[in-house]
Each structure stands twice: as structure tokens, then as C-alpha cells.
């Protein structure tokens, strides 16, 4: 007697199943709780939000939906960092590059995608030590979010895929970088003012007229070192030994002769509240008189 083969047993099993079906003993179909046309849910039911939750969500939506319009900067679409959620539009078979700040680096495990199955993200370092994050979708009609964590900041972006539309390069302007540029500008201005200023008074040399001649009494210890005007006042810087001797009197020469004028002594300087053409400093009287003439030459 021959033993039954595997094929014989398979045919017998199928015949028995058909007979059972004919007798009303078919395998029951998978039930879907009466909702035969609805797909099975992917997530559990949402929990209700509190008033505080809704308020916080509204603030987040304000940031996501902020009216931040990018601008063109060379070959890139540029967003202001922190002004809202940037949108990056990509297309299959095209590359989208997100440029980071020069020297900025993505930290380890710093790339977080909402849909990592249908989006590909990889890093590259280009010129000027600048990291580029390369983004590629695999399908059209996708939308997800991307977070890039670096050693300086965190980027939150919305990714959208389209058939033909895409952004080749996306970059950012940074408020702290702009502030640093202004601070550097102000620092350079301050250094320039300091370079152009008189060390003793801080007056801007560019605003001063030093075209004066000083003649007479070269041996006098109080003889002026220089004279200049700022357009409204004349300043006479006296010798270092003036405080140890008699302070000279100041007379301004006019058409009516030499006249006393009002002036103030500030340290080693005479400050005269006018711009004169010629004046004299006098110490003593008669034959023992010492005179120094100050004449404006830059008229």
C-alpha cells in the first residue's frame, strides 16, 4: 500500500474545507465593530484642554503664524531668526540647503524630524566653516516639522514638499549678530573719536582751529604752549609752571586798543568766550613787564 504524498494531503485538505463551507461551517470574517467603512484609528482620543492650555497654545500659534516674510540675499531665501517659524519648501530629486551661521555646529543627535520615514536630512560643511543641512523629501504633498539643535541655538522649521517648487538655499539673519555689528560700529566710532580728541579735554581735533602764532618772552615759564578755537571760544593752554608764578592778564587787541576781556581759568587753560584775532598776555608793569603775543594766522 502506497503512503500519501504531501500534494495528496494538500488536495484533501482543500476538498474538506470546501465541503465544510458547503455545509455552512466557513471561517468567520474579521469584525470592525459595525464600522466597516472607517479605517482603524492611529491615535487615542484627545484630552480636553484647560483655559491655561488654550492660552499657551494660542501664543505658540502666534509664533508659528507670525507674518514673517523672507527676503532674498544673494542666492538664498533669508528669514529673521526668532521672528516666527520658517517654512522650507522642497521637491523630490532636488536639494534644499539650510545654511547655519559660520562656525555653528549641529550637536550630536541634534536633528529631529516629525516624519523621518519620508524626509532625509544630512549635514555638510562648506566654505567659511559654514555648516549646511541638506533636506530631501521622497514624495510630493508632505508636511512635517524639523528641529535643528546647534551649539548656539535651536531652529524650528516647517517642511513642505511640492512637485516642482523648491528653495535651493535657506539662510537666517540673527538679531544678536546685528546687535554685535552695531556694537562693533559704536566701538570703532568711540576709538576714532578718542584718536581724534585732545587727551586733556576730549575735544575733537577736527572741530578745532590751531592756526595761531605765539611770540615773545621765550624764557617765561608761563608762556603758552598753544592756542586754538572751537568756533565760539578761544582756548589758551599755558605752560606747566603757571601755577607756581603770577598768572598773566589777558588783553585783546581791537581797533580801540588793548582791552580787558572776560575769561575763565580751567586747570592750565584760559577759556575766552570769543574768537579773537590778536591778544597779549602780560605779567608785571613798566620796564619789568613781560609780554606774549598770540595772533590768529588762519583767517
DSSP 275-294: --SEEEEEESSGGG-EEEEE
List, in sequence order, every residue forming a beta bridge with 133; answer none if it has no partner: 98, 123
pLDDT tens digits, one per residue of 80-101? 998 889 999 999 999 999 999 9
pLDDT tens digits, one per residue of 216-252? 988 888 899 999 999 999 999 987 766 656 788 999 9
Cβ distance 186 to 194 under 8 Å?
Answer: no
Which CATH architecture group holds 203-294?
Sandwich (2.60)
The number of beta carbons lying within 10 Å of the beta carbon of residue 119 is 19
Between β-strands 269-272 and 263-266, what pairing exists: parallel, antiparallel or unpaired?
Answer: antiparallel
Residue entry with cell 494531503? 9
Q: How far apart are CA 261 and CA 275, in angstroms?
A: 12
Q: Where are the domains of the chain?
A: 60-175, 203-294
Between β-strands 290-296 and 212-215, what pairing exists: parallel, antiparallel or unpaired?
Answer: antiparallel
Fold type of domain 60-175:
Immunoglobulin-like (2.60.40)
Per-residue pLDDT at 292? 94
Per-residue pLDDT at 268? 86
Radius of gyration of the chain, Cα coordinates, nearest whole angstrom: 44
Per-residue pLDDT at 158? 94
Q: How far apart are CA 208 and CA 206, in angstroms?
A: 6
Q: How far apart are CA 212 and CA 294, in angstroms?
A: 7
Q: What predicted TM-score, i.e. pTM, was given to this entire model? A: 0.52
Sign of CA dihedral 245, 250, 253, 258: negative
Q: How far apart are CA 295 and CA 191, in angstroms?
A: 33
Q: How far apart are CA 88 and CA 96, in angstroms?
A: 8
Sign of CA dihedral 115, 145, 135, 96: positive
Per-residue pLDDT at 299? 67
Cβ distance 149 to 161 under 8 Å?
Answer: no
Per-residue pLDDT at 173? 92
Cβ distance 133 to 112 under 8 Å?
Answer: no
Instruction: Return the SS3 of 201.
Output: coil
C-alpha cell at 159: 517642511
**Residue numbers in the chain where pLDDT is lower than 70:** 1-40, 241-245, 299
Q: How far apart are CA 106 and CA 6, in angstroms?
A: 61
Q: How far apart are CA 70 and CA 60, in angstroms?
A: 20
Per-residue pLDDT at 174? 92
Per-residue pLDDT at 25? 47
Are 60-175 and 203-294 the same fold in CATH? yes
Amino acid at each position: 500500500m502506497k503512503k500519501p504524498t504531501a500534494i495528496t494531503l494538500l488536495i484533501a485538505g482543500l476538498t474538506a474545507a470546501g465541503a465544510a463551507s458547503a455545509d455552512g461551517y466557513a471561517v468567520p470574517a474579521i469584525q470592525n465593530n459595525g464600522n466597516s467603512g472607517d479605517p482603524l484609528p492611529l491615535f487615542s482620543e484627545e484630552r480636553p484642554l484647560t483655559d491655561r492650555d488654550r492660552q499657551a497654545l494660542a501664543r505658540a500659534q502666534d509664533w508659528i503664524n507670525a507674518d514673517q516674510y523672507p527676503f532674498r540675499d544673494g542666492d538664498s531665501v533669508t528669514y529673521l531668526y526668532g521672528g516666527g517659524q520658517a517654512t522650507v519648501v522642497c521637491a523630490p530629486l532636488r536639494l534644499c540647503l539650510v545654511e547655519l551661521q559660520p562656525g555653528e555646529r549641529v550637536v550630536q543627535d541634534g536633528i529631529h524630524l516629525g516624519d523621518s520615514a519620508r524626509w532625509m536630512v544630512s549635514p555638510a560643511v562648506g566654505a567659511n566653516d559654514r555648516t549646511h543641512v541638506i533636506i530631501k523629501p521622497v514624495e510630493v504633498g508632505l508636511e512635517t516639522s524639523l528641529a535643528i539643535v546647534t551649539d548656539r541655538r535651536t531652529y524650528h522649521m516647517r517642511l513642505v514638499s511640492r512637485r516642482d517648487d523648491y528653495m535651493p538655499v535657506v539662510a537666517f539673519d540673527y538679531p544678536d549678530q546685528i546687535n554685535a555689528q552695531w556694537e562693533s560700529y559704536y566701538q570703532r566710532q568711540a576709538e576714532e573719536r578718542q584718536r581724534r580728541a585732545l587727551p586733556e579735554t576730549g575735544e575733537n581735533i577736527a572741530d578745532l582751529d590751531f592756526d595761531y602764532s605765539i611770540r615773545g618772552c621765550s624764557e617765561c615759564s608761563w608762556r603758552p604752549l598753544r592756542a586754538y578755537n572751537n568756533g565760539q571760544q578761544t582756548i589758551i593752554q599755558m605752560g606747566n609752571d603757571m601755577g607756581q608764578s603770577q598768572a598773566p592778564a589777558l588783553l585783546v587787541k581791537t581797533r580801540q586798543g588793548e582791552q580787558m576781556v572776560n575769561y575763565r581759568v580751567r586747570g592750565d587753560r584760559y577759556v575766552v568766550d570769543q574768537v579773537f584775532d590778536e591778544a597779549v598776555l602780560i605779567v608785571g608793569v613798566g620796564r619789568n613787564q613781560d609780554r606774549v603775543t598770540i595772533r590768529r594766522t588762519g583767517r
